[in-house]
Amino acid sequence: MPHSLIFGIPNHISFSIAIVIVGTAIAILALRSLGPESWIRPRLREAASSGWLPASILAVFATVVLAAYGTPIPQTAIFGAYVIFGIALPGMLWVRLFRGRAAHVSEDLTLGLAVGYCLEMATYVAARAVGAPLLFVLWPISTLIAFAAIPALRRHWRGSGARVPVWWSWGLAVMLGYLLIYSAGTFFVSHHLTGTDTPYVDMPYHLALIGELINHAPPQIPYVSGVPLAYHWFFYADAAATSWATGIEPVTLLYRLSGLPMFVAFVVLTATAAGRLTGRSWTGPVAVAVALFGTVADPYSWTGTPVFDTQTINLTWISPTNLFGLALFAAIVLAFIDLLQTDKDVPRRYWLLIALLVFGAAGAKASLLPLLIVGLLAVIAGFAICCHRLHGRAVAGLAAVGVGLVLATILLYLGMTRGLVIGLDSLRSLPVVSIPGDEHTGGMLDLVMPIVGWLIAVLLWSFLWAGAYGLIARRHRSSADAPILLLVGIGAGGLGAVTVFSYPGLSQVYYLTVAAGAFGVLTAAGIAAVVPARARYLPLIVCVSVAALVGAGAVLIISKLGPANAPTLAQDHLSGVLPVIIVPVLALLGVAIITLVVLRLAAPRWPVLQGSVPLLVIAVVMGFSLPNVANVLASPIHGGPPPGLSVAGDGIDVARWLRDHSDPDDLVATNLHCAWYTTVYDSCNPVSFWVSAYSERRVLVEGWTYTTRTIVLPSGQVAPFWDPALLAANDSAFTDPSAAAIAKLRDGYGVRWLFADLTGADSDSLGRYADLRYREGDFAVYELLGP
């Protein structure tokens, strides 16, 4: 497939984008040429101002892009119909009932999508547990029928008639269109629906869990038999339910479709929360831009991103649970903003909305409820200190979230911490201080470098979310401060978690990434607080743009003046290393201070600057991040799969045959354990999950990473399998087949099928003791019949 130079997008998609842009420009010019007496002009203007038009164009564009990357148009249409009529629309009706009112249709539909996800997961897991998975479709059907048939509920079909500015709908549609283009050029192009695949290392893992939820509830680890799944698995339940309802392959849902409505929910709900909090519609797109694209400034030539932050766009497809968490967290933040922002009574049934969203968040991402608890504690503490009273709704919300967290810890995470440690390990991993040679040093260095890294992180975080400091300028205090305290608490919780916690694989960064929406809303609210009143805003917008470019230029100059390579402690003393990593950040701080002084001196002589100095300083400081934002957007989602992780098309076909010719409860044994075939287990990278992923069957032992019993060594490697006798029995059936070896798997462990990589098996002997059922290329399936 020929590609263009932009993100590797196929040329025909690039041409389609160009045609849309040119066609839109021509339509605008034609509309302007029509006289005021023309009957066409007002109707065209009304269509353009409707949110349905950009939504329709976006849907058509998504269909074209998905088709270009192998998704059949009928499957896209079926998926869209299911999301609308099976999740979002019935969810919207419940949202309007719980809230006692209707809002703008975009808000109601996306909040309804989040609630619909929660109801879908609850009903699907229950239906799957009783062995009738399709029973879950009764909830949307009965909802639509009840709200149509019961007179008291019929009013919830009617919208509020609220409207939003034209640019708000079109602006969010453009952002979503860009996300689609970015997804196509960085993820779709490297993850294939058919044939040989070279996926990111975690994608077969996600696919295996979808297959597990398709066939079993409650779920277990599918690639190591008998190990419980202590994980946030609600995304996989959603994908499994969608697969049952639509007949769409799980790989198509994972690689192409399921993430798209979650993007929409996150973008619209984040924009709505910002507008609700500030009363200004323009803060919505600002909040979304900060949440999606914001990343810390990088004043170094030798790092990528110097410290962890909320940059989330390159994680959205390779971590579907993170994207799902972003969408549900945006919904729960909006619900709590509505709850805390007013002293007016809310319907008691509003708490049912809160409870549903807490349920969904509990199993969507483990980091969500702890952050929400910190946010609610901030509200309670803030009102107790400043207002000398207890915030009743925050207390009630804290109780609900606390109960949700306790139940999730017991029922979903089985009381396990999955390798959580508290200490300086996380700070030592910050890229800016994790420099070559430091592993051979000790003493004071083990304390100095993490502290230096944390101080740098604090400054860079302050630059990235500098807009939030505008809230200090607020003069009036009221109940509207409760949502601000909530967002501040969520942000502080995320920053604190990434500072003191450490997980295997740096998973502590997800405490920050799932808080991206909260940081975006908080930043937009602060910016709104310092925007001066103007009769004409165009000069101010120009000044803000110039200030941001000045900030970007300052970072580029500082990074060019510094060394091109990282300092190494093996060659340099600490006194030579610290200035290299500290001075660039101090230089940025100096630029911010100089900007403030210069603008204050110039403001009396330049009318456009009067009252806008805080805003322009914020623009300069946030402009520090622009070069790194550009680097992130121009980079692929990942640098390619690790060696040997290519999944052969023949293997996928054989796994599919096994799925179609076996029972979901059948157990499979395989000799595939590592990212590459090897018999030396101390050099094995046990991340092979693709047999269980594509066969949708439980495997006796495949890979053993990401399990509750996995031991991570100090070097970051995974220890050998914890049951060497089981592993030896498993592998001997392939390398040294015998009647006794086969009988041990069949009778001792309950194995029914063998999935063999023939390059590492004695296929001639194996065929004498097991029934060869299917072979393609280097892969074969054998059935173990009774003695």
The upper half-sphere exposure of residue 452, i.e. CA atoms within 13 Å in the direction of its Cβ, equals 24
CB atoms within 10 A of CB 87: 26
The residue ranking higher by pLDDT, 162 or 586, is 586
Q: Is 550 helix (H, G, I), strand (E, B) or coil?
A: helix
For 31-57, b/e burial (b = at least 16 CB within 10 A) is eeeeeeeeeebeebeeebeebebbbee
* CB-based burial label for 599 (10 Å; 0-12, 13-18, 19+): buried
pLDDT higher than 90, residue 742: yes
- The answer, yes or no, to whether residue 34 has pLDDT greater than 60, is no
pLDDT digits (tens, 9 = 90+) for 248-270: 999 999 999 999 999 999 999 99
pLDDT single digits (tens) 145-175 = 999 999 999 999 998 888 888 889 999 999 9
Strand-pair partners of 782: 754, 772
The answer, yes or no, to whether residue 442 has pLDDT greater than 70, is: no
Q: Which residue has the tokens 């909802």?
A: 143
Q: Could you give the angle at which helices 516-530 and 283-293 cross, rounded to 10 degrees?
A: 140
Instruction: Quote the radius of gyration of the chain (alpha carbons, Å).
Output: 28
Residue 12 scores a pLDDT above 50: no
> How much is the average pLDDT of 688-703?
95
Given a cut of 90, is residue 474 above it in pLDDT? no
CB-facing half-sphere around the CA of 2: CA atoms within 13 A: 6
Phi, psi of 779 (to 5 degrees): -125, 145
Q: How far apart are CA 667 and CA 151, in angstroms?
A: 52
pLDDT at 8: 44
DSSP letter at 642 equals P
Q: Band the pLDDT of 419: cuts 50, 70, 90.
A: low
Q: Note the helical H segments in 253-391.
A: 259-278, 283-293, 320-341, 350-364, 368-386
- HSE-CB for 128 with a 13 A CA cutoff: 26
Handedness of CA 449, 454, 457, 459 (dihedral sign): negative
- pLDDT, tens only, 542-580: 999 999 999 999 999 999 998 888 777 655 566 677 888
Confidence band, pLDDT 50/70/90 cuts, at residue 686: confident
Report DSSP letters for 644-674, one per residue: T--B-HHHHHHHHHHHHTS-TT-EEEES--S
Q: What is the mean pLDDT of the chain?
A: 87
Q: How confident is the model at residue 428 (pLDDT cuts 50, 70, 90)?
A: confident
Count of all residues that appear for the chain in the document = 787
pLDDT: which is higher, 40 or 586: 586
**At residue 2, what are phi and psi to the nearest 5 degrees?**
-70, 145
Which residues on neighbouring strands pair with residue 757, listed in sequence order? 779
Query: Does position 4 have pLDDT exceeding 60, yes or no?
Result: no
Pairing assessment for the beta strands 771-776 and 779-783 based on DSSP bridges: antiparallel
pLDDT value for 756: 95
Which pLDDT belongs to residue 20?
Answer: 54
Above 70 in pLDDT, residue 290? yes
* Whether 49 contacts 166, CB under 8 Å: yes
Place of tokens 């975009």: 106
Query: Among 334, 357, 338, which residue's Cα sits nearest to residue 346?
Result: 338
Section 340-350 average pLDDT: 85
| CA–CA distance, 231 with 706 (Å, rounded to integer) | 10
Measured CA to CA, the distance from residue 703 to residue 229 in angstroms comes to: 14
Provide, rounded to the nearest whole percent, the portion of the chain with pLDDT above 70.
86
Full 3-state SS string of 179-196 = HHHHHHHHCHHHCCCCCC
Tell me the pLDDT tens digit for each residue of 506-524. Answer: 788 899 999 999 999 999 9
Residue 30 has pLDDT above 60, yes or no: no
Looking up tokens 């088709």 gives 67
CB 73, CB 63: distance < 8 Å: yes
> Distance between alpha carbon 697 and the CA centroid of its chain, in Å?
27
